Amino acid sequence: MDKRERPRLAACPWPVGVRRFSYRLFPGHCLLCGTPSGRPLDLCADCEADLPLNRPSCQRCALPLATAPDGDLTCGACLARPPPFQYCVAPLRYEFPVDSLINSFKYRGQFSRGALLAELLLAALQQTALPELIVPVPLHWRRQFQRGFNQAAWLASYLGRRLAVPVERQLLSRHRHTPHQQGGSRQQRLHNLRGAFRLNRSLSGQTIALVDDVMTTGSTARELSGLLIKGGAARVDIWCLARTPLEK
């Protein structure tokens, strides 16, 4: 277990003293209900308590599970075919209001939403060993041009700053525009992804956290973590804001 001091919840990456002072001047307002949050986070305690936490979920890939069986929580897919990544941290389920927060961040560039979501992810990472490198899931240049930014890269930079871990935005690139991965068979999804990504340099035993906003089927996470492991990474974990159930 990593013993480095963890950052406390806060809605901006400034030093703690500056944050405390700024929140005395400009207290946090809840982005969901608009009331003063009374703490250095733009979310009130009541709205936080109502968030759809991703529990119970597969301890390997964070797939939401309907019931919590005793003991080992591993989904059928991970038992049948263990993924190349070690495990996935996905604190929330992609349901209301998490879906609208993510969509406002991703499609309308509302970075206050992005910062709040990143802080919720940071809170879920308290017990996690820090990686040597944080790497975002790459976006095809065409989609990045349309959107104006890569939401995974924005999150990776935010987390890297708060955790003092280097971020390598260019380690992976996406060379083929792939259709959205939800729907279709597993075979079809894997076929769509084959050759879509490239690792731009070889690795030498680094531990890596691969960051994305939402993990849907897990095909992209499997493909990219496999590529990183083949390229020399010692271990890959997935960090994402939210996880969707497989059938939705």
Our finding on whether 171 is near Zn ion (CB under 5 A) is no
- Binding positions for Zn ion, 218-247, rule CB under 5 A: none
- For residue 142, the minimal CB distance to Zn ion (Å) is 31
Half-sphere exposure of 37 (CA within 13 A, CB side): 24
> Does residue 60 interact with Zn ion by CB under 5 A?
yes
Among 18, 33, 45, 164, binds Zn ion (CB under 5 A): 33
58 near Zn ion (CB under 5 A): yes
Residue from 12, 61, 90, 203 in contact with Zn ion (CB under 5 A): 61
Q: Residue 113 CB, nearest distance to Zn ion (Å)?
A: 13
Q: Where are the beta strands (DSSP E) in the chain?
A: 88-89, 92-93, 133-136, 172-174, 197-199, 207-215, 235-243
What's the min distance (Å) between Cβ of 188 and Zn ion? Answer: 20
Of 17, 111, 93, nearest in space to 57 by CA:
93
In what helix (H) or strand (E) does residue 19 lie, and over which residues does it extend?
helix 16-25
> Near Zn ion by CB under 5 A, which window of 56-64, 129-137, 176-184, 227-235?
56-64
Q: In whole angstroms, what is the distance from residue 239 CA to residue 151 CA?
A: 13
Segment contacting Zn ion by CB under 5 A, of 24-32, 132-140, 207-215, 234-242: 24-32
Using the rule CB under 5 A, is 78 a contact of Zn ion?
yes
Contact flag: residue 63 with Zn ion (CB under 5 A) = yes
Q: What is the secondary structure of 136-152 as a DSSP string? A: EPP--HHHHHHHSS-HH
Residue closer to Zn ion (CB basis): 24 or 81: 81
| 21: enclosing H helix or E strand | helix 16-25
Of residues 126-145, those binding Zn ion (CB under 5 A) = none
By C-beta, is 42 or 174 nearer to Zn ion?
42
C-beta closer to Zn ion: residue 174 or 235 = 235
Q: Which is nearer to Zn ion, 29 or 147 (CB)?
A: 29
Q: What whole-number distance in Å separates Cα of residue 110 and Cα of residue 94? A: 18
* Residue with token string 């996690």: 128
Q: Which of the residues 36 through 55 are near Zn ion (CB under 5 A)? A: 44, 47
**Residue selected from 10, 32, 208, 242 as contacting Zn ion according to rule CB under 5 A:** 32
Minimum distance from residue 48 beta carbon to Zn ion (Å): 8
- How does DSSP assign 73-84, residue by residue? ---HHHHHS--S
Residues 6+ apart with CB under 8 A from 109: 148, 149
Write the DSSP symbol of residue 53.
Answer: B
| Residue at token pair 């597993």 | 186
Single out the segment in contact with Zn ion by CB under 5 A; choices: 33-41, 116-124, 132-140, 239-247: 33-41
Contact positions toward Zn ion, by CB under 5 A?
30, 32-33, 44, 47, 58, 60-61, 63, 75, 78
